[in-house]
């Protein structure tokens, strides 16, 4: 099984199967409605891209939400100016965020460690403030950028008479709301997984790992590390821009709050929760956080009452009172506790937990597929 999954076609097939059947296997968890499923796939892309920079290269960016926001704005502008077709929107989202990543990365990557993090945070806050106030003509300030009836939409108008009311996003006539929106995001996620996997198992990925492990050794080994870190930064910025434009595809409006530093912090949490530097860990982290955000926050005392209905009256009141702290408005508390537990007991995140379980029960080794397992073992002399 493990051997098979290390082959590319099988890995892709298994991954696609898991993603495309999400509406089925998430049903028992109550998370199979399109809106949440779209968020699962979109934030998985965001976290996967972030992991290329943080997990592989070891640079902790605290400003990746800026690229998410830039992707959203670019996509909505594409809807407003050109067409409601989503493909140009994705293109512009990725292109603009890539451009910004190139600029911000070029400056920030002059430093590493905490200084790099602070620089990216500063840039992201600058982007947020620009979007929120200074650039109001482009971003529509605190209201957020929305579609209007007066939008030029030149390509769509040239092809057909505009219908009544606001149009919705579409892919050659297929509306991008509900399940079709989810499946579109899912296909994009599968493509992103493929790209990310290729990077992981390429000499380029190995080089990035080397930079994370010992950058000065890389210099004395003959590598010019700056172009490598910049490439990783731009790739992860483009992933974020792609996620941002998908957010606009499923719901065509863009607001500045998407770029706030809390949003940048969230993707850091996702990555750490799932497993830094692993291929699918960040995606799992994104799912966990989005699940808590949407499901736990929807719990109210009534749902808890029915959940604890098997307890006698007095105990039930206590159980409901205590647990109600952790649901509804208090879902952040649950997330915080979970995050602390994972960081303390499972520093490698969910993926480390999984590895420990398989090692205990399967007796399998945790070696990386990149290394050859059939090395002849010989005595030292």
Partner 1 sequence: MANSVLHVADVHKSFGGLQALSDVDLNVEEGTTHAIIGPNGAGKSTLLNVCVGRIKPDSGHVVFNGEVLDAHTPDEINQLGVSRVFQTPEIFPDLTLLDNVMIPAFAHRDGSFSLRPFSKLRHETTIRQEAEQVLSDVGLEALQTREAASLSRGDKRRLELAMCLIQRPKLLLLDEPTAGMARHDTNRTVDLLKTIKARGMTKVIIEHDMHVVFSLADKISVLAQGRIIASGTPDEIKGNPKVQEAYLGGAQ
In angstroms, the CA 162 to CA 76 distance is 18
Instruction: Provide the residue count of the chain.
Output: 381
Distance CA 338, CA 347 (A): 12
Shortest separation between residue 195's beta carbon and partner 1, angstroms: 8
Q: Is residue 339 involved in binding partner 1 (CB under 8 A)?
A: no
Q: Taking the complex as a whole, how short is the minimal distance between the CB of residue 366 and partner 1, in angstroms?
A: 10
Would you count residue 12 as binding partner 1 (CB under 8 A)? Answer: no
Q: Is 206 in the site for partner 1 (CB under 8 A)?
A: yes
Nearer to partner 1, 39 or 212 (CB): 212
- CB closer to partner 1 out of 262 and 367: 367
Smallest separation, CB 127 to partner 1 (Å): 26
Question: Computed from CA positions of residues 158, 161, 165, 169, in that sequence, does the dihedral angle turn out positive or negative?
Answer: negative
d(CA 229, CA 214): 13
Site string for partner 1, 356-375 (x = CB under 8 A): -----------xxxxxxx-x
Total number of residues binding partner 1 (CB under 8 A)? Answer: 43
Taking CA atoms, 286 is separated from 6, 36, 259, 310, in Å, by 23, 12, 17, 33
Q: Which two tokens stand for residue 321?
A: 């009172």
List 152, 227, 347, 362, residue binding partner 1 (CB under 8 A): 227
Question: At its nearest, how many Å lie between partner 1 and the CB of residue 1?
Answer: 18
How far apart (Å, rounded) are the C-alpha atoms in residues 304 and 137?
A: 47
Q: Which of 343, 253, 375, 372 is nearest to 3 (CA)?
A: 372
Q: Does 220 bind partner 1 (CB under 8 A)?
A: yes
Residues 174-203 that bind partner 1 (CB under 8 A): 195, 198-199, 201-203
Q: Which of residues 231-290 bind partner 1 (CB under 8 A)?
A: 231, 235
Q: Is there a contact between 280 and 315 (Cβ–Cβ < 8 Å)?
A: no
Residue with token string 């009534």 = 302
Measure the CA–CA gap between 314 and 296, rounded to whole angstroms. Answer: 24
Minimal distance, residue 378 CB to partner 1, in Å? 6
Which residues are near partner 1 by CB under 8 A? 195, 198-199, 201-207, 209-210, 212-214, 216-225, 227-228, 231, 235, 367-373, 375-381
């Amino acid at each position: 099984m493990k051997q098979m999954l290390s082959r590319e076609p099988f890995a892709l097939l298994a991954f696609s199967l898991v993603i495309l059947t999400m509406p089925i296997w998430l049903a028992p968890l109550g998370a199979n409605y399109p809106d949440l499923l779209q968020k699962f796939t979109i934030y998985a892309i965001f976290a996967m891209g972030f992991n290329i920079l943080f997990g592989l290269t070891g640079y902790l960016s605290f400003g990746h939400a800026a690229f998410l926001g830039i992707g959203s704005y670019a996509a909505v502008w594409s809807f407003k100016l050109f067409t409601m077709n989503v493909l140009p929107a994705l293109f512009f989202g990725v292109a603009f965020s890539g451009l910004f990543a190139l600029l911000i990365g070029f400056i920030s990557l002059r430093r590493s460690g905490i200084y790099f993090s602070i620089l990216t945070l500063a840039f992201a806050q600058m982007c947020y403030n620009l979007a929120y106030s200074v650039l109001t003509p482009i971003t529509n300030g605190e209201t957020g950028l929305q579609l209007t009836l007066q939008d030029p939409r030149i390509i769509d108008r040239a092809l057909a008479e505009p219908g009544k009311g606001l149009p919705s996003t579409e892919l050659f006539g297929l509306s991008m709301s509900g399940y079709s929106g989810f499946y579109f995001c899912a296909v994009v996620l599968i493509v992103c997984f493929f790209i990310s996997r290729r990077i992981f198992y390429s000499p380029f990925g190995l080089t990035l790992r080397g930079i994370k492990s010992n950058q000065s050794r890389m210099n004395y080994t003959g590598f010019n590390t700056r172009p490598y870190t910049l490439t990783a930064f731009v790739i992860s910025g483009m992933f974020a821009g792609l996620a941002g434009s998908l957010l606009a595809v499923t719901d065509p409006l863009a607001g500045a709050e998407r770029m706030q530093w809390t949003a940048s912090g969230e993707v850091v949490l996702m990555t750490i929760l799932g497993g830094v530097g692993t291929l699918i860990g960040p995606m799992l982290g994104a799912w966990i956080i989005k699940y808590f955000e949407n499901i736990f926050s929807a719990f109210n005392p009534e749902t808890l009452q029915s959940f604890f209905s098997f307890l006698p009256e007095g105990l039930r009141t206590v159980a409901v009172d205590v647990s109600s702290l952790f649901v509804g408005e208090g879902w952040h508390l649950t997330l915080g506790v979970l995050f602390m537990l994972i960081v303390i007991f499972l520093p490698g995140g969910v993926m480390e937990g999984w590895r420990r379980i398989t090692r205990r029960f399967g007796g399998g080794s945790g070696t990386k597929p990149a290394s050859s397992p059939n090395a002849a073992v010989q005595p030292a002399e």
